[in-house]
Structure 1
Amino acid sequence: MPGAIGDFVWYDSDHDGIEDVGEPGIPNVTMALYRDTDGSGTLTAGDTLVGTRTTDADGGYLFNNLPPATYFVDVTDANNVLVGLTHVVANQSQPDPTGAIVLGASEVYKDADFGYYQTPTSGYAIIGDTVWYDDNSDGIQQPGEPGIPNIQVCATPTGGGASICDTTDSNGHYLIEVPAGSYSVAPINPPASYLATTPVPHLLTVQIGEQYLDADFGYDDKNGPLLGTIGDLVFLDANKDGVCNSGDSALSGVSVDLIRDSNANSAWDAGEPIIATVTTVGGTACSAGNYLFSGVPGGRYLVHVSDTNAVLFDYTKSPTGRGRGGQQQPG
């Protein structure tokens, strides 16, 4: 059986190289995998490019279907997501490119992780980090609720002074560098016809060097059905007919990505962002979906089965049928 290599790129706010609770993954970072063709044990121009991946909305990625060999993972960042960030090399955060990864038969290697952080200017702190569509109005960003791009968020000193602002990226993330002090933080151009589901403004005090990443803002379409849903099923296709029917079952633990098809050509082109990632849940009924993206604004989208958890490690995709997302076991 083949092997796999992955799996995580994250914002390491305390830059200790350890994946701490509350430190978010970094989406849409492009990665490349090379095979050590020349046997040198380091990445050289003579090594073979095996494939490329893009980190999902949680910062995860996986190269699968790999035969035993020596490999290197290289962070290529073709989308310029990491511009302005500093790479950590310590503990769980690997060098870029990695050292030689000797992959055995059927081995799943998931320690090719990379941490990054923004270094505040001396005497400054950082405030962030998300504005999102809160479809169920609970004030908590669920995995299937996308961020809102192009929202300007400003931190205004509570004692008076000029506001300092940043604009959210394709995943609704922002980072504002500010002098230490107390601030009122708020989006200044929230989406029209939406209501906030979290307190606005967000009041906080930051110390020198602090990275405060909890200034988050949710918005729901309380004034009308402006948000939609996309789903719904990844299943074990026992009879390999491409249709979920009697004898088939839903597969759990499979990561699925939602991609904004910016040019509406039904293909995943360079630079088109992954805006949300969900993980399937199991079940036995074909009528019930096992994944759902909610809070999706009108537009064109693509759905990609990324499987960063390697659940489909020894499965193959079923023929196209009415039941989308079917996977069959080999044999």
Structure 2
Amino acid sequence: MQRPELRGSTLPSRRGPWRAVAAISSTLLVSAGLLAAAPIAASAATIDGAITSVSTDKTSYGYTERVALDFEWAVPDTAEQGDSFALQLPDQLKAVSKATFELPAPDGAAVAKAVWSDKKVEFTLTDYVETHDGVHGTGFLTAQWDHSKITDTTAPLVLDFGGGKVVTVDIGDKPAPPAPCQTNCGPQSPRTERGLYKAGSWTDGEYEGTRDAKNNIHWWVELPGNPQGFNGPITVVDTPNAGMVIECSTLVVQTFPSLVGGTPRTPVDPSRYTLDCNEGGFTLTLDRIGPSEFINVEYKGTITDQRLGAYGNNVKMTIAGTTTEKTVTRKRTAAGGNGDGYQSVSVGDLVWLDTDRDGIQTVGEAGIPGVTVKLTGPEGTAVTDVTGKPVAPVKTNAYGLYSFVNLPILPAGQHYTVTIDRAASADALRGLVPTVAGAGDDRASDSASWTADSTDLTVNQAKDLTLDFGFVTPRVSVGDYVWLDGDRDGRQGEDESGIEGVTLTLTGPDGAAVTDVAGVPVAPVVTDAEGAYVFENLPVLPEGEHYTVSIDREASATALDRLEPTIAGEGDAERDSSLWAESSVDLTDDGDHDPTLDFGFIEARVSVGDYVWLDADRDGRQGDDESGIEGVTLTLTGPDGAAVTDVAGEPVAPVVTDAEGAYVFENLPVLPEGEHYTVSIDREASATALFGVEPTTAGEGDLEGDSSTWTVESGDLPHDGDHDPTLDFGFAALELPTLPLPEEPQPTVTPAVTPAGTHLASTGAEVALPLGAAALLLLLGAAAVLIRRRGVITED
């Protein structure tokens, strides 16, 4: 039975929190690879020193007076189900009762079960210790003096309970025996009548109903009797209280004729009564109680709830309409106590330097010491631990580990939140920023940014050791493309390809050399097969400061041979081009990347031309009113008369002047200074176009308006877009020979007709007339050619 004043009392945990701290610390060190995990043996153990104090209810006792003992106990958090501790009585005491009892928790669950063995009571821990920390409690029991061990009552008794628990008391002298009877000392007359009586006892004696599983309490009912007897019917209704049942098979009804001790008892003839019995009680109906007849009803019961410590029984008897009732309670000797503990959870565990920047904890990555983290509960509330203390911020240790222990369990769906105190951690995290959060699919190895919520923590010793925070040195990058601008529009086209092998250099603000975040000087980079390049791991820069990327022209001479920058600044920065060098945008935050530092190039190409004309005034200069000659075929050769291939790799074919006499050779490769292209008129192919004309005077005046004869060299064409339009050819109509004018005709004398024959008269025009006709035809032909070339021939 528990004392009401002790039920639910608690003791502060002496060692409870340390197991949680040790367990979490070990777990964290194992997760960090600093300790090797070791299996824990699971065998029952005896816990020494669990009894922390013992006291008696008094300091002075009578010789036969019982002693009430109180004690306190606590077990370490390493205790397991099946482990035990004991209270050893000193020699001077022995147990009044050896009944087993329990030390229950506030919710009624047994924390430990007590069993006596001689003068020692042993407490075996239940599974309560598996789900609680800081398990402790109180106990009490009743002892009596073992006078076989007490030889002297004149001196104080020193009661040694072991482990330094000593109590000193006084005990009175043994009482004197009663004086011998002096009067009326003969035998007394026996009683002849009695009333209704109810009583009970333990079937196992000092174990008080706890030793045997069944039939461990004995009850009996004594029906009234007298010399006159009682007429029936007589009804007896017996009902046990909770915690016990009747064993009907043990019930007997006995009769005996006298109350003198030792009078034999015999069963009542079953024909005299009816019996209705079950676990919850019985009803007995008797025909009568005869004169001087005494009837007892006895049975055994089985205790179903050993924790009660007291068991009651009620009997009602009705005779001639009068009901008499008796209730009896059988109590165990006072012994009991309580146990208690707390259920706690914890969270942690690591703040680390994520050197590979993948957001995942990797072996070899170091923790960051000195980071301050704080804890809040659901909805940001402050947290009080299971011992009633406010939970203060903690700092990561030398390994970057932290933990919050002894936290109350939370209902499902509610969580703790761990937050890095940025101000308090400024020194520890100087120059660092959070790594990528939520990488991978394992909470135990990923990272959170500045704050993290726990999982559900609904059972004792639940731990969420996944609240980790990774940090990186902030870095930025720039890039990214050098390409061949095929359509020469200054914009990156989908079908335009990169240029491999271009060397680029990086400088910082004010042209300073750059050192990356690892302290290594940033070297030049070379574009890959796709024309891509990147400068990575660069320190962030303050707002307004920039990196500059430049093409190393000398180192890139081969890659950029015969290429020149395309148009710069066409459209948005992401797809346009820069000329040889470009500065980045602001790069102030980790991960910033400027991919707009692109350089487009075009294949350098040149051209030559451009005119074949009819030099009407034959002055060797192109006149405003002089027209071109259509259909003249021209060919192109390179230095040393070599055939020419254009920038697309195609052979350069002859060209023919258009209706305006214009021609051009385009898409020609640039030539080094001092080397030239040569344009020649293909005379054979141009015979028709140049019929009746001949080259005009060459080299008259400036190149822009003069003429060449059949062939001419270009000027230097070393740059993209160079064009030599001075390769012109003038032609003049062939000059006809001068013919003499016919002489003035003289008067003629008609001779007389002679009979000798007929003759024409002499006019003097026998030669002149045919020559004049021929000259006229020649001039008309030349004029027709000229008119045709000028396109003025019309048809009516």
With structure 1 as the length reference, what TM-score do the two structures score?
0.35
Higher helix fraction (1 or 2): 2
Look at both structures and tell me which one has the larger radius of gyration over its CA atoms.
2
With structure 2 as the length reference, what TM-score do the two structures score?
0.16
